[in-house]
Structure 1
């Protein structure tokens, strides 16, 4: 607590130059806590509670006092008794009257009878000051359900919600689709808002207005069987030569033997995955002669034929590249059955790298098994031989010459 007691001092300096002439000069000075009032021609009290920033700390309240100020608890009660001080004459002058105000500080609750008058929109606080009433928080407003209440000092304002505008007393929706920034493709207005949509094959950019192309070839791991070509707003699938697109994404082999057959008359056309080949209609070579389609026989009347297989049958097949293994790919079977004979099967040639295995399935048949994956385009010629032995130790053989054409792709 700070208390400053102030006195007014008047200094009179008298200079006598002669008995006839007397000149008096008076200097007036105010002590601490007072300042000179030139209009009233006297010292007046300074209100430190108004001019000193944060005059009191720790939640104390500032109370102005003659010549100083007090820092008191907010619950303190102040009783003021005024007494006039006696005046006294002094040689050559008159002192100013000093009024001292004794202060009696008592602890206790604030005086409930002390009320202040606040303006409309304000109310008295517990610290006896007028504070704003938040009508929006207390519900003391008349804003409609489609309006927002905004508190002001001493009042409030009703305004439309975002996305709405006031027309008369109503709040109507703003059609943002008619205002910039415009959507790149399509705009959809909603109550109080809007959103942009893009055409198929496009997506919204980070600004939610611009539409950018979707690269479907990158977003999908399997969208085209062979190759994907991205285009603005769409994509397309292409296939390699010898194939055509079906279903928009799948590649299907083109049967050139039915469309663009370029083989000669003495040749036969064989279609395979991704292309075609021309083979002679009469594949027989001396001493073999053609007896039926693709079947060559070596006549027994020819002595050279005694050491050669009796017949050679030419067969053709095509498989896709990188086929799963092991895989059964071709069955060989005896067409003529002789009594009291035993048939055995073997791969006579064309299996130098061990890609195939011949598994006998019965006394008259065997299955060719692919045991190593083949990559194309490539052509394999495999001779499959059937040996026939009877009880009289008669031996004969026949060969199936299988041409396997491996396509360039796995489809």
Structure 2
């Protein structure tokens, strides 16, 4: 290999040193004009070479290095070197100061003399290395080395970025950047301390927008609602469920919707039995009535009635609290029932029909007597009828649905006939029926 060859190619350039020598001045003139690449030295009184590598900013572009020579300059690769040629005879004036010569270096390559010793030359600091721009220069004893930065690999003389994402360094997503990479996690996860793995985020502990209950799951979370609420379309809000709108059978009387629940209420005169049923309040038993001493308290659905104890009308006489008797000695009693017993009862509105509501039972039975039952008065609209069960009892039947509040006073009669003894008698039952205002 010839001297001056570096790396893959060699460029040997012989530069013949020459000077632009001015013509000797005459006795009358001072000659100061120099050729291109030189300028006149006022002190030396002759032409001096211009160092374009120093005077021209960025004289060489890219990876080219500037080499000055007499009268111009060269742009050569950094790996090139310049070998000065011997000066031609009779071309250089020994009196000129700009003679090109290099001082003798007795030190090994990569070192330079300093006082009585040789010290290492930092090629990296002096920019006298041939590392590519993509490489990093590292000074060594007597030389230097060109290395690629972290995240790059050497391909030929260039450093190429390593695509770390090809090696699946990240658990979820990898983003390659020049010389490095970054890992990203899917929503619901966060980067672990090793900057590669992804761990679940507890959204519930970080203020998830659930209005009631929050349950953390892998990568996400779920909102749940308390009983009586349902999850809204956004998946976060809990809206009250109107249970009353789902069914009309939740409460016996009336359903009232509340936040997260419902409650049943009863009309006046009733109280809740459990949570849904309504039970009539017996004011006569609880004492919550205002009947006087001469009156009897009669409990009805949703309230009570105060009935006078002396309810017998002439020609009847009061024989007990609720029984009247018509003596046979009185002529007016001959066509009247011998006795009348007062009874009271209450039914609800819109009761299903036909419906058995009251049973009539004979209290005295005579041998050989035949008994019949009938409604004597009070049923002008035909709302009731009598169904005889046997010889001594019958059933009062509600024939049509009735609405309250209203009151019926029915006179029921039992007629007893004994053909063998020519016996004929009758007894009555005055039944007062109160129809309540509510249907259950």
TM class by smaller structure: 0.5 to 0.7
Q: Do the aligned partners of 2:208 and 2:214 also contact (CA within 8 Å) in 1?
A: no
> 1:305 aligns to what?
333
Q: Please give the secondary structure, in 2, of the residue aligned with 1:402.
A: strand
Aligned residues: 275
> 2:188 aligns to what?
163
Correspondence list, 1:41-80, <5 A:
none
1:393 aligned to which of 422, 433, 436: 422
User: 1:346 and 1:221, CA in 2 relative to 1: closer, same or farther beyond 3 A?
Assistant: closer
Q: Please give the secondary structure, in 2, of the residue aligned with 1:316.
A: strand
Deviation at 1:363, TM superposition (A): 1.5
Q: Deviations over 1:267-322 (max 9, x none)?
A: 11111111111112232122211223311111122222122211111111111211
TM-score (norm 1): 0.61
> 2:271 aligns to what?
244
> 1:349 aligns to what?
377
* C-alpha separation in 2, matches of 1:264 and 1:251: 28
Matched, 1:291 2:315: no
> 2:172 aligns to what?
148
Matched, 1:263 2:287: no
> 2:367 aligns to what?
339
> 2:237 aligns to what?
210
User: 1:183 and 1:350, CA in 2 relative to 1: closer, same or farther beyond 3 A?
Assistant: same
Deviation at 1:354, TM superposition (A): 1.2
* C-alpha separation in 1, matches of 2:259 and 2:368: 74
Q: Do the aligned partners of 1:143 and 1:149 also contact (CA within 8 Å) in 2?
A: no
Q: Please give the secondary structure, in 2, of the residue aligned with 1:276.
A: strand
* C-alpha separation in 2, matches of 1:270 and 1:362: 30
Q: Do the aligned partners of 2:280 and 2:302 also contact (CA within 8 Å) in 1?
A: yes
Matched, 1:272 2:300: yes
Deviation at 1:403, TM superposition (A): 1.0
Q: Deviations over 1:345-373 (max 9, x none)?
A: 11111121111111111112211111111
Q: Please give the secondary structure, in 2, of the residue aligned with 1:307.
A: coil
Correspondence list, 1:356-371, <5 A:
356-371=384-399
Q: Deviations over 1:147-199 (max 9, x none)?
A: 33569799997643431111123322111124355322232222211122233
Q: Please give the secondary structure, in 2, of the residue aligned with 1:339.
A: coil
User: 1:369 and 1:219, CA in 2 relative to 1: closer, same or farther beyond 3 A?
Assistant: closer
Deviation at 1:210, TM superposition (A): 2.1
Deviation at 1:258, TM superposition (A): 1.9
> 2:257 aligns to what?
230
* C-alpha separation in 2, matches of 1:135 and 1:311: 114
Unaligned runs of 5+ in 2: 1-151, 153-162
> 2:226 aligns to what?
199
* C-alpha separation in 1, matches of 2:387 and 2:246: 46
TM-score (norm 2): 0.57
Q: Please give the secondary structure, in 1, of the residue aligned with 2:172.
A: strand
> 1:46 aligns to what?
none
Q: Do the aligned partners of 2:264 and 2:275 also contact (CA within 8 Å) in 1?
A: yes
* C-alpha separation in 2, matches of 1:367 and 1:339: 23
Q: Do the aligned partners of 1:149 and 1:156 also contact (CA within 8 Å) in 2?
A: no
2:357 aligned to which of 299, 311, 329: 329
* C-alpha separation in 1, matches of 2:383 and 2:164: 91
Q: Which protein shows a greater Rg?
A: 2
> 2:201 aligns to what?
174
Q: Do the aligned partners of 2:325 and 2:340 also contact (CA within 8 Å) in 1?
A: yes
> 1:93 aligns to what?
none
Deviation at 1:213, TM superposition (A): 2.4
* C-alpha separation in 1, matches of 2:177 and 2:198: 25
> 1:406 aligns to what?
435
User: Could you say which structure has the higher strand fraction?
Assistant: 1
> 2:92 aligns to what?
none
